[in-house]
Structure 1
Amino acid sequence: MPFFPPLFSNRFRSSPSLVSPRLTFLNFHNYPSTTPEFRAKTLESNPSIKTPDSVDFDPSTVAETISSYANDWKRALDFFNWVEKDHRFEHTVDTYNRTIDVLGKFFEFDLAWGLIGRMQERQPISPDHTTFRIMFKRYASAHLIKEAVDTYDRTADYGLKDKTSFFNLIDALCEYRHVIEADELCKKMGSEFSAEHTKMCNIILRGWFKMGWWSKCREFWEEMDRMGIARDLHSYSIYMDIQCKSGKPWRVDRFYKEMKKKGIPLDVVVYNTVINAVGLSDGADESIRVFREMMEFGCQPNVVTYNTVIKILCREGRIRQAYVFLEQMHNKGVPPNVITYHCFFRCLDRPKEIMKLFERMVKDGCRPRMETYVMLIKKFGRWGFLRPVFIVWDRMKEHGCSPDGFAYNALIDALVQKGMVEMARKYDEEMLAKGLSAKPRRELGTKVLSDESDDECR
């Protein structure tokens, strides 16, 4: 029988540990370096740990832990039920919503509706607009348009069938490239929201933008004019972004001047678009000029502003100057986000420098995304450096992120490239056991379907 300090109880010792056994003997509440979600996951995976406050989970800790299981809906739901049943945790709307989001991501809509029903039963909390925005988003991402519209009708049962829910539905449809259906729905029900025509048109315009149908964007922009629908700050912001993405950044200056002429107050979003546009058309120096101009007019840059300038500088190979703006962010109280660091990771070409910046990113409290880990694993794997590949892989697990299919495939590709076929096969089997889709590889005994067809033809 292993020794447990008096602080711990070994009442529940049936669940397998997901962390090193030595953590079982640590009073991790005294270690400030551990994150709240790590402490919650350690408690979940080590029922033998029973601390004085283990029955009093912080809602934000529970919410973050659920989000860390974004790629494993079963574990997310098990954790959700475990803290409620075994530790009498009273779930909040946020913890419900996060679990519903994970379930919807894996098309477990019946289970998601079951949680909505449970939420409704357990007053004083009840489903809110965010709950149904999540459902709209997940149905739209699964291309279940009828179900998304039916969900809007069901919001009436919860007293939430209003313009907010309608706009959330339209926005979700546009976000997942169902703009034609969203446009038809607006024409059908638009009269109910006539006072909000500009907002509705902005959502549709952004939808055509996401589709990349530039001619349709132009037609819709001109149609707004013919219909007498006023263009506001957001309309111009979206359309100027369209000009940038469609390869015509030089046109942004015309709309920029038009806004000034109309007396529309310029905000940081507009300036961010202009900074990006002039950077694309005239280079980084022009972007920096507009950056300084916005500050002179009293508009303070945000993290997107800095990211835009840093991205343009990195693209031009002006890394040192990009680092100067990174330091400015710290000095001005604008914390860098994951996009900031991605700008550097994409252009840096020295593994030591990348890893140093990655460690700084984590130390500064900027939580890497799954995209971050995949990007670095691919980059190091392409260069043939396996040591940093496994450092990043281990950091991903330490940070409480469950690897997705892209992460597994990036790691397996790196191993196959170095001829470590047996180890690659082990990870291939591990991802298949989790229900993730593995990439066909000849080295592991799998072939692309078209290759098999060719063999049969021969």
Structure 2
Amino acid sequence: MMNQIQLPKLLLHQHLKPNHKPLTLFFFFFSSSSSSSEQQQNTVTKAVSILTNQRSKSRWNTLHSLFPTTINPIDFSQITLHLNNKPHLALRFFQWTKSKSLCHHNLASYSTIIHILARGRLYSHAYSTIRTALNQNDDEHCRFEPSSTPLKLFEILVNSYRECGSAPFVFDLLIEACLQSRKIEASVEISRMLLSRGISPKVMTLNSLISRVCRKFGVDLGYEIYREFFRLDEEKCEILKRGSGFRVVNPNVHTFNTLMLCCYQNGLVDRVEEIWSEMCEMNCNPNAYSYSLLMSAFCERDRLEDCEKLWEEMRKKEIEPDVVSYNTMIGGFCKISDVGRAEEFFREMGLVGIDATVSTYEHLVKGYCNIEDVDSAVLVYKDMIRKDFRPDVLTLDMVVRLLCDKGRVEEAIEFFRSGVGKFDLVPKEKSYVALIKGLCVEGRMDEGLKLQAEMVGKGFEPNSEIYEAFIDGYIRQGNHEKAEALRKEMLQTPSAATTEQ
């Protein structure tokens, strides 16, 4: 469906052999020389006893007397392993070592507590600990570049997984943490290494990954990642058939919605329809948001008849349109100036109990401005303000210019001042031009000059339209001398001369 592309070097697929050599671990194996002595074993045993048997008030003071200055990361991991069925206690122990600066945690000790928290289903704490670990650069123990931290942490988590009795979603948390830290290449590589081991991240995780890849590297690469990670290529399917029990995760509706949204946001509206077709071919049922995305693509091409067919299809499938669906239809009809049809969807929206959003009102205001129905545009605009919605500057600009065109300059100024003062909007140059021209037509030259000074203060240079408005205004007042002076000034002003040409 889409042409094959050359992937960036960092994201090129690298097959890992099953016997891929693991990294050296530096933590809790009891054969380690740093913790094999009887004395240190006794210390670990005492620490576990203090944590599990003493009351919380005396526990931490007693523990501090056992470790007055520092706790070796290896000892921390051994102690924490004994707390594998007490995740909350393990978390408090970890937090205590951090607050007292007693342990210089490395990736191995972080891995231990991450696994224990995951085992105990303490999702948010496991996630935040992963985020902390990703910021570590443990030169003493691991000696690696900061950019390779996610891959090192992944390898240690893999090799300590069984010993800690962890949960599979720990790797999903790692991928999500990498994505949030903008380590997208690492997220891709970790996902590939999981797949090479016969483990698939959750579909929700893969969807997040595809979305981030699309945003950073483009839709083409996001689509390639989608094909690769959901094992959709024929060659990979054959490999799976020969494999042993690999569980294939299928894309869901959110996967396709992610791809369609990325295509739409990048102006690739034809590809939205292609992704939709692929979704249907894979027997994945679209939801209301899926329909909204395809309808938005059709609206971009003014294909409103196709939009209405999709709307009827939703009804037949008993998929209830949401606010996005209604806004899409309203915006589409307003764009082609069929505001009457847009109003029908607006009324239906209210009848079914869906509250209008600022986008709903802005679509209608712009629609009425397109057909120059100034009264309806003003009415909808005021209704939007009463509902405490903040208009965008383009909506304000359209209303101001339409009012000026209809000779309602004073009303336009009120709207203008309200938008600037109440909503802190930065007006467009066209708004200033329309207002100044309107004031000059009414002979309010002094007010026009003040507004023109304000316009210059906002960084807009006078253009030929501004000069001509003042020249015409002074001529109507009989002040030909001032009009001639302005005409000469206009010819000497680069911005005005350029505009005139």
TM-score by length of 1: 0.49
Larger radius of gyration: 2
TM-score by length of 2: 0.45
